[in-house]
Amino acid sequence: MKKITRRNFLKVTGIAAAVSAAAGLLTGCGGSSGSTAQGGSAANEQIVNIGSTGVLATLNPLMVDATWVNVYGATLQFNPLVALDENAEFENILVESITTEDSLTYTIRIHKDAKWSDGTPITADDLKFTMNCLTSAKLGNTTMILSALAGTNDSGHRDEGVAEVEGVKVVDEKTCTFTFKSNMNMVTFLNSYAQYIYTVPQHVLKDVPEEELAAYDWFKKPTVVSGPYRCVDVDYNHYASFEANEKYWKGAPAIAKLNIKIVAGAQLLSGLQTEEIDVVPPLLGTINQADYEAVLALPNVDAEYGAAYAVESLFINCNAIPEVEIRQALLAGLDRQTIIDGLLGGNGTICDGFAVPDGPYYKGLQPVKFDAAQAAALVQAAKDKGWDSTKEYSLYLNSGEEVLINAATVAQSYWQAIGINVKLVPVDLATLMNMCINGEGDMYGVQYTYPPVDPSIDVQWVLAYWCFYWNDIIENGLNDIWATNDSAVYAEKLYAIDQDVQKNVPFINLYANGPLGAVTKRVSGAKATMYGTLNNVHEWTINA
């Protein structure tokens, strides 16, 4: 990763929250045609329903991106190497250890007891096979940034005719090494690689042509899994139904059946009340802000706010708005506290940049204060340089986020008062994501959750590929971050990047807040936390 190049690859880590926040996209899609996922209380059955407001795109662990519902579907069936726990710290899942002596080569030791559901040991050969699949251009996975791995090209794939990825070596039955082209710190390896690698069974899939793996139907109802459950029925728009893997190597799940139930955000309150939905993890299921107090008051539910990692942001296409004075005016002319007080009941924090106050790298950067006079002066300065004051900018918004649209309406009135005309255009999330990547709009509004342990990849992604904003401060800062395992150095370099972002405004954080999560009291052992909800899913029980 030394010397960043602006490659045109997809990257989805940070939009996990954005996709799961699209509650309004699914109105009317809460029902199910699957017998174990249909409505009605499951109080007397060994079934647990997990509520999601994001639509499944795939259950294929080789194609999964980091959108929450896809991660949940994959994690239930195939162990990731590691996963974040409820404290946003990494927990070993499939591995016993991951170590490095030089931040260039990583040694991954698979747990000695890890077995597939058919009793076959999970081996380093399985992991090597998985990495060969992920780096295959024929498979076409573009959601992991694998171009830093030795033996891959700029697209993150093996060159044509190369059978195996050079950077992954089998040491012994349970040990693999990953070697990178340049230094990568431990937290970035864990956050951007290890938690999204779901090892698949070589002995089952080895004869499937690589070009067929992406759409291979076996993944919808896999016969061999490493995780606590396996899917037995799926309708991507409505539900996925799972049954327990009784041979799970960490212990047979106590609950026989589990569903991911896809509903609109407005249905989560009633679902929790009637116990048609048992668990609503933050970010997976986005409870409507207007229903927060009602959910907190339900006597049969334990609910609490997550850490304030989710940021409602307006990303600016700096090619479309190159005048720094106008970008600065958009920020200075916006009273963000009014939005928080009026729309969120005060449940929000103002911050600038990538380091959110609840994250480990926050160094107290003071956010820009609302100053209408200063904003008007910046607009006038832009006019004096030839800026066209009659121009109308289009702000494209995730149509599934009602609070965001309301917040943008408030912002629109503030900007109009200082002479900046902005038109609000709600679009579905898939359209919005494509517009961001292709630079087709002036501004984009969406919820973005920066991984608290390591936002560095997201820094590169949103600045280079959404905002079209780049300079030496960012490039050198990221390279320094990726070369260190010192959290203090990381925080210092990220602070310098955030100062530059605050000064030149490639994006605006409206607010950061912690979404609400909830679990009904009929389920014991489950915690609806921002991260780690499924880490102990095999230990969940249903109260009599």
Domains defined along the chain, listed by start: 13-222+517-542 (3.90.76.10), 310-513 (3.10.105.10)
Residue with tokens 């699914």: 26
Residue 519 · residue 279 · CB < 8 Å:
yes
Q: Rounded distance, CA 30 to CA 271, Å?
A: 10
Token couple for 396:
């494209």
Reduced 3-state DSSP string for 77-118: HCCECEEECCCCCEEECCEEEEEECCCCEEEEEECCCCECCC
Nearby residues of 438 by Cβ (< 8 Å), 6 or more positions away:
none
Instruction: Name the CA radius of gyration of the chain, rounded.
Output: 23
Residue with tokens 């925080």: 491
Strands 105-110 and 95-100: antiparallel
Q: What is the pLDDT of residue 125?
A: 98
Contact status, residue 523 vs residue 278, Cβ threshold 8 Å: yes
User: Which pLDDT belongs to residue 39?
Assistant: 39
Q: For 316, list phi and psi in degrees, rounded to 5.
A: -105, 125
**pLDDT per residue rounded down to tens, the chain (544 residues):** 333 333 322 333 333 333 333 322 222 223 333 334 443 444 446 899 999 988 898 999 999 876 789 999 999 999 999 999 998 899 999 999 999 999 999 999 999 999 999 999 999 999 999 999 999 999 887 666 688 899 999 889 999 999 999 999 999 999 999 999 988 899 999 998 999 999 999 999 999 999 999 999 999 999 999 999 999 999 999 999 999 999 999 999 999 999 999 998 889 999 999 999 999 998 899 898 889 999 999 999 999 988 888 899 999 999 999 999 999 999 999 999 999 999 888 889 999 999 999 889 999 999 999 999 999 999 999 999 999 999 999 999 988 788 899 999 999 999 999 999 999 999 987 789 889 988 999 999 998 888 889 999 889 989 999 999 999 999 999 999 998 889 999 999 999 999 999 999 999 999 998 889 999 999 999 999 989 999 999 999 999 7
Cβ count near 337 (within 10 Å): 15
Q: How far apart are CA 85 and CA 344, in angstroms?
A: 27
Contact indicator for 27, 239 with CB cutoff of 8 Å: no
Distance CA(321)–CA(329), nearest Å, equals 12
Helix (H) or strand (E) holding 268: helix 268-274
Closest CA to 510 of 406, 371, 378: 406
What is d(CA 96, CA 116) in angstroms, rounded to the nearest whole number?
16
Structure tokens at 14: 């940070």
